[in-house]
Chains A and B, each alone.
Chain A
């Protein structure tokens, strides 16, 4: 991968590439019901989204994540998040993302990849 690829303007898309591919195979598009602002009560994602300590901020950031993602498949993202977070504290997962170099850019903000996915999911179903 060239340097340019590594620091491209929207590397988040690349980070989601694998997940997008999975969603195409599955062919599923889930339109989550509207949720009350600041709450994550959707039955499929509530456990995941309850990890976010500041729902309003996560929602705002997540909207930008979605704006910059060409495709965002909630089911696939949720599945990946379940895998990453299973039995672990979110803060540790995010720090581990950074340690492992799993960071993405959203409107220039360098974020742990897991946080970007989680915020994107929060915005998607709200």
Chain B
């Protein structure tokens, strides 16, 4: 097993030829590189960072922002081996069937294929992220061991489950750089270049294919990679930046003939303390509030999710609510519980009030976008500006789901809910974000509405592909990592087919 190569030792002017160049060694890049190298393809994996965090490399991510407050662009992702799996939380859950559908009530929604297209890859993706067997909502055995789920009345909200990437030392989920380092080094067909920054995806003169990649290091070296195929896997923000900044042949940037690259950016909004959930008898299975581990080692936790039928019937966006710690009750809250429970002939002497958090889906918005600025980073690459938006209706959609949950609690006479954030100022004041960057190189069956086709190939550029959640055209509420790994495994199959 050898060490990774260091781009800072490659002589300037060198040209490296390979079958497939993969730009970015995060979850998508590493999954793809190993999948392809195991099929005897020559793979070159190019990573901007080294084996650990470096502030000068991380600073290449810095950018500016307008609009709704959002995370700093150099703080919500990681630029070294493993990418953002260096700081992810390990939460996994497949996207819902309805997340793939074009929703009549939601403009710009829908994937070019149904979920069934990537379902075969879910078990494999589960293995890559080390989240155990694909159990999720089939986990009825958990009820026998850990307690029954909430007996909600019939309606639009149900108990669903997350699974978690294997914890290391009970703290850290699978870090792709660390976990797959030995595998990457072991593959004879795979080379990994650290400290290698792509500064230009150079197209052929007819703009129909990638001719070569320009590589630079912060130490001043520059050289060229000539791949047969190139896969951009630099994350949901940087993928767009690379396409926009490679504008020497196509002035608007690669794949941007319809002004779509960088648009439709999305993340999961994660407002804290959005509601107070009261259980009259105080009983709650432990998997609602904390991760549990079953005998097989599978780590799981419950979430309260809107059903596909409810979302469709009410025109609701997706969301995943979690039950957190104890919530304080004022006099009115105590009176509301006492009046309601007593009137329903229910004993509430042991009632428990719990805070509700969540992650909810944003509606696709072309104005939520990245553009290039005149400011340059240390490599001379234009920096990005984000214009962030968050529609009132997106939060109200989540609030409607909470209200439905409250209705179901009352119907079953087990509890009730208080919706804690009503005005925009109130819910913006508790807003956090998932660091789940999506949508900026969206997938579509039509080049007029997408940047990549259903195989993740950039429209019009025969040998350029994009991997990762930047291709998600609609987002759902599930955490993206396991889903993007599944999509990457599908891309790997497609690319293998091109060589056979």
Contacts and interface: CB of A to CB of B under 8 A. Distances in A.
B343 A51 contact: yes
Given A3-B396, A107-B332, 5 more contacts: A52-B343, A91-B345, A94-B410, A95-B344, A109-B333
B462 interface: no
B331 A60 contact: yes
B201 to A, nearest CB: 42
A53 B342 CA distance: 6
Given A90-B343, A115-B340, A98 B407 contact: yes
A105 B343 contact: no
Given A4-B393, A99-B411, A108 B419 contact: yes
Contacts of A61: 332, 335-336, 339
B318 to A, nearest CB: 15
A57 B410 contact: no
Interface stretch (B55-63, B206-214, B397-405): B397-405
Q: Which of B392, B397, B406 has the most CB of A within 10 A?
A: B406
Interface in A50-73: 51-54, 56-58, 60-61, 64
Interface in A3-22: 3-4, 6-7, 9
A103 interface: yes
B420 interface: yes
A106 interface: yes
B358 to A, nearest CB: 15
B275, B416, B423 — most chain A CB neighbours (10 Å)? B416
Contact of B407 (A60, A64, A91, A103): A103
Interface in B370-409: 392-393, 396-397, 399-400, 403, 406-408
A91 B340 CA distance: 9
A46 B349 CA distance: 27
Contact of B334 (A4, A9, A57, A106): A57
A6 to B, nearest CB: 6
Given A54-B338, A57-B334, A60-B335, A110 B403 contact: yes
A9 B395 CA distance: 13
A7 B393 CA distance: 10
A105 B403 contact: yes
Interface string B345-357: 1100000000000
B419 A110 contact: yes
Nearest to B420: A108
A32 B331 CA distance: 25
A74 interface: no
B309 interface: no
Contacts of A105: 403, 419
Contacts, number: 114
Interface in B414-439: 416-420, 422-423
A10 to B, nearest CB: 9
B314 interface: yes
Contacts of A115: 339-340, 343
B407 A111 contact: no
A109 B416 contact: yes
Nearest to A106: B336
Contacts of B333: 109
B153 interface: yes
16 contacts: A6-B400, A7-B400, A54-B338, A56-B338, A58-B339, A60-B331, A90-B344, A94-B340, A95-B344, A98-B153, A103-B403, A107-B336, A108-B275, A108-B420, A110-B407, A110-B410
Contacts of A99: 153, 411
A119 interface: yes
Given A4-B396, A52-B343, A115-B343, A103 B410 contact: yes
Contacts of B411: 95, 98-99
Nearest to B423: A9
A110 B339 contact: no
Interface string B138-180: 0000000000000001000000000000000000000000000
B343 A94 contact: yes
Nearest to B410: A98
A101 interface: yes
A89 B345 CA distance: 10
B490 interface: no
B315 interface: yes
B413 interface: yes
Interface string B181-215: 00000000000000000000000000000000000
Nearest to A118: B343
A111 B153 contact: no
